[in-house]
Amino acid sequence: MVSAIILIAYLVLRPPLVRATKLWLLLGLGILPIGAAFAGNVQGFEATKERKFCGSCHVMSLHEQDSDDPSSRSLASRHARNAMFGDENCYVCHADYGMFGTIVTKAGGMRHVWMNLTAYRGVTLAGAQRTIRLREPWKMNGNCMQCHSTKADLWLRVPDHTAALDDVREGRIGCASAGCHGLAHPFFGAH
């Protein structure tokens, strides 16, 4: 607001470029907008984590409806009912983990926006169900293992887990595959 007042004042008054003008403009064009951009980015990053945001592209509406459905038995929906995931369940499961996970995920999100605006703008839900797939399905186990570490006694007591331990850790067998815990989004084909 202060920045806008400074800028409008400059546009209306057109003062000479003396030291005071330069300092006011530094505030109005530099310091205050950088602060606003920082706050805006934080707010933007937080907004893009919300399920509502992911579901606002029409091809993702089935995913959103399923996550919102308290009676759904899908893996995604059951996780959405967990307070640790809550309204950010898409992001928690699909975000890359690791030091630069947020940045990598946001860059990937821009690709999703581009795809939605170009290739998928006119695609029906049925068409989306046939064609949308995970780009790197082998990475998904890593996201599951952020919580289910594969090292706890309870987890290791399950014979199927111990039998496939290396394959699960390496991502060769997906936790969310038909023979194991079922597809995370069963209404959306095999991914």
Partner 1 sequence: MASRRAHRLLVAACICALVALGLMTWQLFDPRVVPVIVAMSIGQVLGTASFAAYVLVIIADFRAHRRAERDSRKVR
> Where does this chain bind partner 1 (CB under 8 A)?
3-4, 7-8, 10-11, 14, 17, 22, 25-26, 28-30, 33-34, 36-37, 39-41, 43-44, 46-48, 50, 53, 56-57, 113
Cβ 130 to partner 1, closest distance in Å? 24
Polymer length in residues for the chain: 191
Check residue 86 and report its DSSP letter: G
Residue number with CB closer to partner 1 (16 or 159)? 16
Check residue 178 and report its DSSP letter: T
Helix (H) or strand (E) holding 109: helix 101-117
Residue number with CB closer to partner 1 (110 or 190)? 110
Instruction: With CA atoms as reference, report the closest residue to 147 among 87, 75, 58, 45.
Output: 75
Helix 2-13 to helix 32-47 angle, to the nearest 10 degrees? 130
Residue number with CB closer to partner 1 (44 or 189)? 44
Residue number with CB closer to partner 1 (40 or 189)? 40
Cβ 83 to partner 1, closest distance in Å? 22
